[in-house]
Structure 1
Amino acid sequence: MSGSSPVSPPALGRRVLVGYGMGSVATGIFGTVPGLVLLYYLTDVLGVAAAVAGLMVALPKVWDVVLNPWIGSLSDRTRHRWGPRRPWMLLGAVLTPIGFAAIFAAPPIPPGGAAAYVAILFLFTATGYSCFQVPYVALPAEMTADPDERAKVNSCRVAILAVAILLSGALAPMLAGATGDSDGTPAGYRLMGIVMGALLLAGALIAVAATAGAPSVLRTTSEPSLPAQLRAARGNRPFAWLLAMFVVQALAAGLMLAGAQYYATYILDNPSAVSVLFAFLILPLLLAMPMWLAASRRAGKRKATFAASLCFLSGALIAAFGRDVPAAAVYAGVALAGVGYAGIQMLPLSMLGDTIAADAFTTRRRRAGVFTGLWTAGETLGLAVGPGLYGLILALSGFVSSDADHRVAQPDSALTGIVIGFGAVPVLLVGLSLLLLARYDLTEERLIALRDAHGEPPMSAPAGDLT
């Protein structure tokens, strides 16, 4: 009740923290592997032209920009004994691995048919993934009203996400090349799709099971329609600026993911170096995450995100000169980017939870689903447009596609395009994201003031009792 002394929200148990975080095995694999290998799979294994391949990778995930807010709205209004989120998570946990394995099992058909096959299967898989990801990201804002506890939830999630990205980013190219050439064969990609799909299934199912009976601190009412919720999200200025910043950074990450295999193959002249690049990116992420968590508590999440973004920008800048500097300098730059990547993965998610909590404190409505639906739609858009834009850069620079049995030498202009897409364009995008971040003004002090002014939501409501 307004005016009463605030009660410290209860801490979440280790089972919920770790179990929820295991869902990041699924999100890490799906967020990393297609962005890392799918464009290359199309252009250098199936022989699809670079511009067409980029379009086929981008369009199915652009569909999620429309789908994710709708899934969020549906989950907000779901009434089920498992609560509003977990039924959708289970549906996505089943559909996504099936589609994922099928994407990389393209039959021996001409390039045009292969492009259509991949696009249709990717559309199916992205739809299943939305069913899991949107309600999954909504859960932290509903499991605790404490900003520090929410940061702990997301730091656990990002720690497991880092491991998932590291393992999937290193293992997927190795599996793709396990049956022949180091940069992949059709049989190797089929094997990779099955193994990654099985890991994705396991992580998603663990998250569904572990969050059963988790506390729900928001006994609120949901908006009656998706348009009403979208209007509400549009009116949340901190959320709007945070989302814009995150989309631009996701676009930069999508470009670097899409370009990693090309960069390793044609700039470092070592196709298997893509696994080394990933190791240099993700291992610093694991070590730096506690540093960013401590920095956010000392200086605030916004300032810490500024610092993390600058680290990421500096590393990408070094990679932009990959044709002129030794490989060791490139790896050092990627490691520096990894330090920043830890912060830009973890901190915006905690800030997202803050914007959702601020909305719930002031409106007493359950709108986490639509906020996270828009958030994941934005992330999906950035990660989808990244490979599409990279494919366009390759096409404009004269890149020549080939199949797994016939490798061709690339013109000098294509090598320049590979470096521009992997380093220079991400630098510009991260610089733009800093201008957007400067407009975000929901500080920790302001959030606590809102909580104290409007009163805590009722605590410890059973997950299925939200109304």
Structure 2
Amino acid sequence: MASRCGHHKTPLHPVYVRIPPNPTITRKMSSSHDTIPNRKPSSFVAFPARNALSDCYLPILTPFSQPPSMSNCVSVHIGLFTGHFGYSSLMPQFRHPYVKAISFRRHGARETPGKGKRSVMSSAITTSFKEKLGLKDYVAYGFGDMAINFTFGSLGMFVVYFYTDIVGISAAAVGTLMLISRSFDGIIDVCVGTLVDKTHSRWGKARPWLLFGAIPFGILTVTLFAVPQHASDTVKIIYIFISYNLLMIAFSSMAIPYGTLNSLVTQDQGQREKLNLSRMFLAQCGILIITNATMPLVNAFGGGQMGWVLAYVVLSVIACALFWVVFGTQKERVKIAKGTKKKSQYPFKVEVKAWLKNKYWFMAFGFLAFFHVAYSLTQGSLVYYAKYYLHQPDAVGVLTLAYLLPAMVGILACTKLFPKFGKTRVVIVCLVVSIIAYILPLFAKESYSFIVFTQIMKGIVYGPILGSIWAFFPDTIEYGYWKTKIRVEGLLYSGGSLGQKIGLGIGTAMVGWVLAAGGYDGAKAVQSAGAMGAIDMIYVWLPIIFFAVCIVLMAMYRIDKIFPKVMSDLADWKVNGAPAPDAEFQKLLDEADAKASDK
């Protein structure tokens, strides 16, 4: 397919790129010899005139001694006005599906009045993982976490109160049930993640879980509040334990596939971050809805236990509809490279071995766990701080809003912060500011307005941290695939969810343990010095310690530096096929194949 330039014997090899609809462009440009080593300024690139209403492929002739190959990738920069033609590091293909488009932008010299200089435009043909995602795709994806928080937010805010004050179960019994169930829930997450990896259907691997799991999830949310009214305490406790853990199974069966869907909608890191930001923003909207709508709904249905049941019938119906919106709007576009074994064919021990090789996953897991310990301590201690230091128990609502509303603004700011500075740097800065915000209450412990200010400060930096948390795990999935040639999504994501559950469980337990060690007595209007010190410990000092650990983990988390290389190699695999797994994995796969053939 090579041709010859008119007055020079340099062979020209065509590279096809897709040009979007454009006004007529006709340019003839020669290369400058300072941009292409050992080339004379005699090669030409021609743009034929076009005035099309639809995309078309345009051949660009490149002056290389041999056709560019996957191992000798090039990029093309075209100066429309200056006749500049150069190369750096790009992947040219003949009508390659991953060469998405040419994007013209200012490059090099700028137009300067009076000097006769003309602007230089450039074009880079790049391998892109970007998909056609619009605002509706991002918003629709976020609806899933809003639906999840109709239940998850309720578990944190109302369930303990409902069981102790409405049903009449002792707080100690409820606390023990929650601790056991949280541990069980973490195991369920890993099991569901493994099943998601082995799911293959016409709807994909994650979406069918949202389609068929929404109704059971809604029904089991309602049954959480349908405790038999006239049964003995023993029967009530057994009912609560069974209904709560069935809900946790349904919860994991929705939350894990929903989170995994992020890594299946697109492989582009920026788009994944935006999906995560939409998810986190609408999750906070869901919490605000639960915070402000639950009690009015309960009262509107007459109060009492039946009021709670009917209120959650309404909320569960809305949640089901939101899950189906996610199912209907999202598409699983990410396909494994040629030569990669299907995930359903991976033995579990191969998945586990690949998981253990992923060092950045463990850093992300540790960060998630320690951060949620600090978060749980913050939320659990707030009511005690408001009651005994501010002497305003009802201030909890205002303090929560002062925390969440700035967090939502912070989440939106991530769309500008992450591309410019990178997730890791932004998170480290936010953690440092968080430590400062947690220290400040020590200087004015009983000042209501000052504590509101510190809550706002915490919320502003909480937003970017929240916006990054679930964006780390899709990155570790791609890194793990690149390192081991074994692609495992559900298991890695569910392991992250396990870290969240462990962190929340430990943090919740620590609130009770520290208060008990300090001699806290809820029946007393005035607490002892030891109890007040315990409140300081859970509100100030322990979160600071866990944030410091998070900073250390983020300092070691350097995936952002190698991620462009990772994605470049994965793009190559999509075209030429994935390399064979390392010998240790191949041996396990061969053994599994041999066992399967024997059967």
Aligned position for 1:464: none
Once the two structures are superposed, the pairs formed by residues 224-373 of structure 1 within 5 Å of their partners are 224-264=346-386, 268-318=390-440, 324-373=445-494
TM normalised by structure 2 equals 0.67
Change (3 A) 1:94 1:384: farther
Which has the larger displacement, 134-143 or 171-180? Answer: 171-180
1:310 deviates by 2.7
Question: Which of the numbers 319, 330, 333 marks the counterpart of 1:215?
Answer: 333
Which has the larger displacement, 186-195 or 304-313? Answer: 186-195
Aligned position for 1:133: 255
Which has the larger displacement, 224-233 or 80-89? Answer: 224-233
1:199 deviates by 3.6
Question: Which of the numbers 412, 432, 438 marks the counterpart of 2:527?
Answer: 412
Aligned position for 1:440: 557
In structure 2, the gaps of 5 or more residues are 1-68, 74-90, 92-125, 576-599
Structure 2 letter corresponding to 1:83:
G
1:438 deviates by 2.0
Structure 1 letter corresponding to 2:563:
L
Answer whether contact 2:424 2:554 (CA < 8 A) is retained. Answer: yes
The 1-side partners of 2:251 and 2:393 are apart by 29
Q: Deviations over 1:272-314 (max 9, x none)?
A: 4333222111110121223333222222211111122233334
Instruction: Give the root-mean-square deviation of aligned CA atoms.
Output: 3.1
Q: Deviations over 1:116-154 (max 9, x none)?
A: 433322211111010011111112222222211211221
Q: Deviations over 1:413-466 (max 9, x none)?
A: 4565455434432232222222222221211x411112223435549xxxxxxx
1:229 deviates by 1.4
The 1-side partners of 2:288 and 2:432 are apart by 22
Structure 1 letter corresponding to 2:482:
F
Structure 1 letter corresponding to 2:427:
T
In structure 1, the gaps of 5 or more residues are 402-407, 460-467
Answer whether contact 1:319 1:333 (CA < 8 A) is retained. Answer: yes
Answer whether contact 2:430 2:462 (CA < 8 A) is retained. Answer: yes
Which has the larger displacement, 150-159 or 171-180? Answer: 171-180
Q: Deviations over 1:174-202 (max 9, x none)?
A: 6567789xxx9656644554444334333
Larger RCO, structure (CA 8 Å, separation 6 or more): 1
SS of 1:374's equivalent in the other structure is helix
Change (3 A) 1:308 1:46: farther
Which structure carries more strand by proportion?
2
Aligned position for 1:200: 319
Which has the larger displacement, 351-360 or 2-11? Answer: 2-11
Answer whether contact 1:309 1:343 (CA < 8 A) is retained. Answer: no
The 2-side partners of 1:194 and 1:241 are apart by 40
Answer whether contact 2:187 2:498 (CA < 8 A) is retained. Answer: yes
1:347 deviates by 1.1
1:69 aligns with 2:190: yes
Change (3 A) 1:60 1:391: same
Aligned position for 2:109: none
Structure 2 letter corresponding to 1:142:
L
SS of 1:366's equivalent in the other structure is coil
Change (3 A) 1:250 1:454: same
Change (3 A) 1:157 1:83: same
Q: Deviations over 1:228-272 (max 9, x none)?
A: 212211211111111111111112222333444555556555554
Aligned position for 1:424: 541
The 2-side partners of 1:175 and 1:423 are apart by 35
Question: Which of the numbers 445, 449, 452 marks the counterpart of 2:565?
Answer: 449
Which structure carries more helix by proportion?
1
Aligned position for 1:404: none
Change (3 A) 1:420 1:292: same
Change (3 A) 1:168 1:319: farther
Which has the larger displacement, 200-209 or 409-418? Answer: 409-418
Which has the larger displacement, 292-301 or 246-255? Answer: 292-301
1:13 deviates by 2.3
Q: Deviations over 1:291-338 (max 9, x none)?
A: 33322222221111112223333444446788x321222222221121
Which has the larger displacement, 301-310 or 98-107? Answer: 98-107
The 2-side partners of 1:458 and 1:250 are apart by 37
Larger radius of gyration: 2
SS of 1:455's equivalent in the other structure is helix
Answer whether contact 2:354 2:486 (CA < 8 A) is retained. Answer: no
Question: Which of the numbers 5, 8, 13 marks the counterpart of 2:133?
Answer: 13
Which has the larger displacement, 111-120 or 300-309? Answer: 111-120
Answer whether contact 2:357 2:480 (CA < 8 A) is retained. Answer: no
Aligned length: 447
